[in-house]
Amino acid sequence: MLDCKGLLESLSAYLDGEADEELRLEIEEHLRSCVKAQAMLRTFERTIVLHRIVQVDGVPTEVHVRLHEALRRRVEEEK
């Protein structure tokens, strides 16, 4: 059974459509019953959207570094 840590490690493959069917089903089952995992999914999805916007408009290096560090800390906290 997949836990939040396993979901976090597999979320990128899931969102990219690269997770195999068994993993996809485990992720979806976990998402149905875990509010924390649902929040992680929303955060990842928003990050992807923001990343696409930033690629188009660009972002100052300082902002990029601060955002990267904040995301890294968030992921570490979730472990």
**Domain span holding position 23:** 4-78
Number of domains observed in the structure of the chain = 1
Assigned token pair, 73: 């800390």
Model confidence pLDDT, tens digit, residues 50-79: 877 766 666 678 887 888 888 888 878 866
Model confidence pLDDT, tens digit, residues 11-55: 989 999 999 999 999 999 999 999 999 999 999 888 888 877 766
